[in-house]
Structure 1
């Protein structure tokens, strides 16, 4: 079970890192307006948290053989019988849940930071119509 958790944290963490890199690039694109940058970061990180929560809720229904984690597990660590598959689903649900909570906290932090910046007089960018 420890090996499954270790590999799951590595694989899910890598996916979250790439998502965070994309969110960071969007935020840099809005760097001309810090309020818009942090708002876009909050929205996109919230979307990532929702996806991670959905993955956590459906983790028990996925066949372990159809996951990336299966590829990285050695032969003796792969879940073959039914109880081991339930343990695999539970571990995956926990790992996705941990990353979803972290993403949710980051999204709230970005949103609060945008509110603080607005309180200090910065305004969100609104593109002109027409």
Structure 2
């Protein structure tokens, strides 16, 4: 959620030019997709005790043995992949909106030349 908040703030910063706002949103959301995919790839190797989820689990729900830790890593990987797919859809949506805006005649921001 904090990544989405930051992306939203950048897009609001570019609100003077909607094409640039949606392009920057698409690029930053794609960057978030890469981070989520990296987390999904490495989730199986992480010690569950070093995750934020561990803090929210009560003592009975925490994985104790090897197989339970592997299941924990698999579930974390699946969750990261789910959110990466959602973020990818949002990035594609942002990009498509920027293309449609360009087709309607809006241009991307270009700084004035000297």
Structure 2 counterpart of 1:111, from 85, 89, 95: 95
Q: How far apart are the structure 2 equivalents of 1:64 and 1:38?
A: 37
- The 5-angstrom pairing of residues 1-130 of structure 1 reads 17-130=1-114
1:48-67 CA-partner distances (Å, limit 9, x unpaired) = 01100110011000000000
TM-score by length of 1: 0.86
TM-score by length of 2: 0.97
Gaps of 5+ in 1: 1-16
Gaps of 5+ in 2: none
Q: How many residues align?
A: 114
Deviation of the 1:128 alpha carbon: 3.0
Change beyond 3 A, Cα 1:80–1:24: same
RMSD of the TM alignment (CA)?
Answer: 0.8
Q: Which runs of 4+ in 1 moved over 3 A?
A: none
Q: How far apart are the structure 2 equivalents of 1:129 and 1:81?
A: 64
What SS is found at the alignment partner of 2:54?
Answer: helix
1:11-34 CA-partner distances (Å, limit 9, x unpaired) = xxxxxx111111000000000000
Deviation of the 1:129 alpha carbon: 4.5
Deviation of the 1:127 alpha carbon: 1.6
